Every structure is written in C-alpha cells, then in structure tokens.
Amino acid sequence: MNIHTIFGAGGAVADQLLPILLKNNEKVRVVSRTAKSIAGVEAVAADATNYEQTLQAIKGSSIVYLLIGLPYDIRIWRVQWPVIMTNVINACKETGAKLIFFDNVYMYGKVDGWMTEETPFNPCSKKGAVRAAIAKQLLQETKAGNLQALIARCADFYGPIGFKTSVPNLLVIQNLLKGKKAQWLANADQPHSITYVPDAAKALYLLANRPDAFGQTWHLPTAPELITGRQFVKQAAAAMQKPDGVSTIPNWMLSLAGLFNRPMKELKEMNYQNEYPYLFGSDKFNKTFEFTPTSYAEGIKETVQWALGEGSKK
C-alpha cells in the first residue's frame, strides 16, 4: 500500500498539502488527536505522544509528513517534542516508512547574514534548544542509516492559511481587515524573509517524490528579495485599500501582554528574530527543483484576496 500520512491534520501546512496530494491521486491518511472526516481521505485519531497509537497510524505508509504544531508554550514543548520525535522515528524504523519533518529556524539562533542548510545550530532561546535537540536526534538516526528521512525547514510564514499560526497574517492582514492599524514585532525596518505556505506545501510533495532528497536538510522555497515589515504592511494595505501605517510591538509590551496571554509571553524570547535582519535562503531547493518562489507582491495579493473572501468569515 502506498499511503501519504500527515501527522498534524488541520494545521496551516497540512491544509495546503492535502489538496496537492489528492490532486496527484495519492492515497492519503490524516492523523490528529480527534479524527476529522474528510471526503476521499482516511482519517485516524492518534496521540503522537503514545507510541502504540503512533505506530498504528503509520503502518502501511510510504511517506510520513510530521507537521504537528504544539501549543506555543515551552512547558509543553520540553515535555512533548522529544517524545513525539522518538515515537515517530521508531514507528518509521519499524514500518520502513520515509519521514519528512517540517521544521523552523529556531535552532540557528542569531545569524549574521543568510541562513542556509549549512548554518550551524546555535540556539539562543529555550524553544530553540528544544528544536535543536529533536533535529539533531533525527539527523543522527538518518546518518546511522536507521531510517530514510529529511528535514524541510521554513522561515516565518504567511498566506491564505488562517490567522492563528502566522504572525504577519495576525498582526497585519487581520488588523487591516478589522479596520485597525497594522502591527509588527520589534522593528518594522529590518529585512525579514517570510515563506509563502502554498510554496512550502508544493515543495514538500516534490521532496517526497525525489529519493535522493532524503538524508538531507532543505530550506523550503522563499522569495529571495528583501522585504521589511513596513514594506509588507505597505503592500498589504494597498491591496486592501487601507491606511499603511504600522505600529511596532516592543519587548516591554510583550512582557505586559504576557501577564494575561501565554503566547505573547512566549513570543518575547523569540523577538530577536525581528530586532535583527532575518534572511532565509532557499537557493539549494530552487536550483535543484528549478522552482521559482512566489514573489511577495503576488503572495501578499493572494493572501489579501483570501482574507477579503474566506478570511473575513473567520
């Protein structure tokens, strides 16, 4: 049986990947804590912190996409991420399934210049330390030949994906939609790479179908041109015919908001990513797959069109 199994059904990336798999006539299994019925898809309920449930969910899979997004809380990450990674690795080893792990850039820490697949791990945050540990675990298992796996890494992201998991969507697009002033974290004048999620989803499927892609780390396609938060806001506001002013959220404000809102408290330690240039390079992927990432102009336009339509109902 040739099944593409998605762990983390209902998430921003999973929702973009699913239609691509179905369009290509793949057999798809979606896994989440509560099975969600989707036409033409096998829905399975499993808790990835439970090994037996994880194993049963993976049996019969040719490819497993680990797209789980845990609540943005270091207390949960420290406990659950190591267990989830261990369970998924062991289940893939036991069944022979290939693994694609969708990762972020927290393990790199502060980087002077462009982040590439060769950038060393140097986390400067608690969440970065957790991500570094699970990435190293997977790399060691892969290098030892215990399973076929790859890491697909992406920058902060945006797109027609909802407002919960994308800071640009939340602070810029949603605020403008509500007639509020757009916001940006820390410094709106630093260049900041942002991955367009539909591109990332297309890339995951391309990687899945390329045997020699396994055993490697890949940065998912991201527009190479520089854009600042202020420029992102300006383009989004123009597309929505809204004022293009932007207010920045400094650390002290995150600290204050964090007294009442856990995700805001958790954002504070990651705010260095907005205080300095945040440059994410995907040349390796673009050249290998002859892929042209969606430009910010086009991606922002598509995101705004979604927000004015479906997004306005959410």
Please indicate, yes or no, if residue 210 is contained in any of the structural domains: yes
- Return the closest-CA partner of residue 307 out of 159, 168, 202: 159
Same domain, 206 and 264: no
Same domain, 103 and 174: no
Same domain, 231 and 265: yes
Same domain, 175 and 70: no
Please indicate, yes or no, if residue 272 is contained in any of the structural domains: yes
Please indicate, yes or no, if residue 257 is contained in any of the structural domains: yes
Please indicate, yes or no, if residue 295 is contained in any of the structural domains: yes
Same domain, 134 and 184: no
Same domain, 204 and 305: no
Same domain, 10 and 149: yes
Please indicate, yes or no, if residue 63 is contained in any of the structural domains: yes
Same domain, 250 and 199: no
pLDDT value for 57:
97
Please indicate, yes or no, if residue 117 is contained in any of the structural domains: yes
Same domain, 174 and 85: no
Same domain, 20 and 38: yes
The per-residue pLDDT string of the chain (314 residues; one tens digit each, 9 = 90 and over) reads 589 999 998 899 999 999 999 999 999 999 998 887 888 899 999 999 999 999 999 999 999 999 999 999 999 999 999 999 999 999 999 999 999 999 999 999 999 999 999 999 999 999 999 999 999 999 999 999 999 999 999 999 999 998 988 999 999 999 999 999 999 998 999 999 999 999 999 999 999 999 999 999 999 999 999 999 999 999 999 999 999 999 998 877 777 765 677 777 777 888 899 999 999 999 999 999 999 999 999 999 999 999 999 755 65
pLDDT value for 256:
72
pLDDT value for 156:
95
Number of domains in the chain: 2
Question: Residue 41 is which amino acid?
Answer: V
pLDDT value for 314:
54
CATH number of the domain at 294, please: 3.90.25.10
CATH number of the domain at 11, please: 3.40.50.720
Please indicate, yes or no, if residue 314 is contained in any of the structural domains: no
pLDDT value for 303:
96
Same domain, 213 and 67: yes
What range does the domain containing 209 cover? 3-156+194-219
Same domain, 113 and 208: yes
Please indicate, yes or no, if residue 20 is contained in any of the structural domains: yes
